[in-house]
């Protein structure tokens, strides 16, 4: 196995210059040539990513988690389709430790293995164990709260910043999460959060692999709305804009959506609405702008950022309704501030006998 490089801290950007940061990594000007500077993923995967500009990502329902109201936290599986023809092209399967997942989700450490399924039939019905046997094209590595103790809190330090590193090919099961990071020679891109997490705008900054190991180009910034989730998901789509980023705009709000648009879709029909209300199974689309001239590995890193958006912002509870202490807690929406999610809840039943805002002791989830 290739010698592993230590994980890196998030970059500290100085305006207008290439940035040196931990372990020799640096941020340089973006590459928008449509060609991977260092091709690391296999040719078939690269061809699929190059040809497709519109993706639909559907998170599978986890019935054990839904029926136990989140007491049994199960690993996620995402089916990825070509939106234009409905073909199943990838499946993303979470690999994480049971104890860490059950105790720390959604802030747990994990690998997500992204596997090619183009040309295969019936993939959406295959169980997780069968999917794990498929060849892995890319692996997303996310360091959780057992290492980054401040995840989910107000972002004031690198230990509070969420993110991921995306690697070409598989990662051996014996490799611990966090031991590879952006410094790994097969890393094709990574992401982190800016200072204060974008303040009132949930933000993820994406970096693309440069010519040298540990060298990355400032690529894109994912920015979402201040309020999202909860019952608002029944009424409207949630739009997250992916905009071109340079070292100069690493700490600035952009909000153009000139590279891609991520959309968290509202349910279509009563059955879908019930699924949305009582589970955390979600459907997303990702529409790339053909004019952005993105290379295959850049698209792959942006798709990984969509998975991170789901973990960070839409996995906080078991749907918008939850039974707790003989009461029904309904989440109207979530609001974002400096890395923290603040739920707006009403509680029905129990001693209160009706609705209304919950006391402050019930606000955390």
- Residue-wise pLDDT for 19-47, tens only, equals 344 444 555 667 788 899 999 999 999 99
Q: Do residues 196 and 212 both lie within one domain? A: yes
Same-domain status, 187 and 108: yes
- Which residues have a Cβ under 8 Å from the Cβ of 250 and sit 6 or more positions away? 11, 13, 27, 194, 205, 218
* 57, 176: one domain: yes
Task: Specify whether 134 is located in the same domain as 26.
Answer: yes
Q: Is residue 7, in this structure, part of any structural domain at all? A: no
145 lies in the same domain as 237: yes
- Give me the pLDDT at residue 8, please: 41
Rounded Cα distance between 229 and 224, Å, is: 11
Does residue 337 lie within any of the structural domains?
Answer: yes
Note whether 241 and 109 are same-domain residues.
Answer: yes
Q: Would you say residue 356 has pLDDT above 70?
A: no
Chain-centroid distance, C-alpha 127:
22
- The answer as to whether 263 is a domain residue is yes
pLDDT at 179 over 90: yes
- Give the Cα separation of 159 and 327 in Å (integer): 35
The pLDDT of residue 165: 97
CA distances from 127 to 70, 77, 119, 280 (A): 20, 10, 18, 19
In this structure, the answer to whether residues 302 and 182 fall within a common structural domain is: yes
Tokens of 98: 């049971």
Backbone conformation region of residue 27, classed left if phi is above 0, alpha if psi is from -120 to 50, else beta = beta
Regarding whether 202 and 168 lie in a shared domain, the answer is yes
Same domain, 292 and 343: no
Domain ranges, residue 57: 19-320
82: confidence class by pLDDT, cuts 50, 70, 90: very high
If one compares 325 and 294, the residue with the highest pLDDT of the two is 294
Residue 31 inside a domain? The answer is yes
Q: Dihedral angle at the C-alpha atoms of 119, 51, 301, 183, nearest 10 degrees?
A: 90
Q: Can you tell me whether residue 357 is helix, strand or coil?
A: coil
Closest Cα to residue 339, out of 226, 206, 202, 143? Answer: 202
Residues 103 and 247 in one domain: yes
Instruction: Please check whether residues 345 and 238 belong to one and the same domain.
Output: no
Number of domains comprising the chain: 2
Cβ burial, residue 228 (10 Å; 0-12/13-18/19+): buried
Task: Return mean pLDDT, the chain.
Answer: 85
Q: 131-153: buried (b, 16+ CB within 10 Å) or exposed (e) per residue?
A: bbebebbbbbbbbbbbebebbbb
Is residue 13 domain-resident?
A: no
């Amino acid at each position: 196995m290739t010698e592993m490089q230590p994980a890196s801290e998030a970059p500290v950007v100085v305006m207008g210059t290439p940035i040196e940061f931990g372990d020799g990594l640096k941020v340089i000007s973006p590459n928008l040539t449509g060609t991977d500077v260092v091709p690391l993923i296999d040719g078939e995967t690269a061809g699929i990513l190059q040809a497709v500009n519109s993706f639909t990502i559907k998170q599978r329902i986890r019935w054990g988690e839904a029926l136990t109201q989140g007491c049994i936290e199960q690993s996620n599986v995402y089916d990825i389709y070509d939106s234009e023809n409905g073909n199943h092209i990838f499946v993303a399967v979470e690999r994480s430790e049971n104890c860490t997942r059950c105790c720390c989700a959604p802030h747990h450490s994990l690998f997500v293995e992204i596997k090619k399924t183009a040309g295969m039939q019936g993939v959406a019905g295959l169980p997780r164990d069968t999917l794990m046997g498929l060849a892995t094209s890319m692996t997303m590595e996310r360091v959780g709260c057992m290492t980054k103790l401040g995840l989910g809190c107000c972002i004031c330090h690198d230990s509070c910043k969420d993110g991921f590193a995306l690697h070409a090919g598989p990662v051996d099961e014996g490799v611990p999460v966090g031991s590879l990071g952006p410094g790994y020679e097969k890393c094709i891109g990574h992401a982190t959060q800016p200072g204060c997490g974008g303040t009132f705008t949930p933000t993820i900054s994406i970096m693309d692999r440069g010519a040298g190991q540990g060298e990355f180009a400032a690529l894109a910034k994912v920015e979402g709305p201040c309020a999202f989730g909860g019952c608002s998901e029944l009424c409207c789509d949630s739009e997250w804009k992916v905009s071109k980023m340079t070292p100069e705009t690493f700490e600035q709000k952009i909000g153009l959506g000139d590279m891609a648009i991520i959309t968290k879709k509202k349910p279509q029909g009563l059955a879908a609405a019930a699924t949305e209300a009582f589970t955390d199974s979600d459907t997303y689309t990702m529409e790339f702008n053909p004019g952005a001239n993105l290379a295959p590995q850049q698209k792959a890193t942006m798709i990984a950022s969509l998975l991170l958006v789901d973990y960070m912002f839409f996995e906080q509870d078991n749907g918008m309704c939850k039974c707790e202490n003989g009461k029904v807690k309904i989440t109207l929406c979530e609001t974002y501030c400096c890395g923290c999610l603040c739920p707006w809840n009403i509680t029905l039943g129990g001693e209160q006998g009706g609705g209304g805002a919950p006391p402050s002791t019930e606000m955390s989830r």
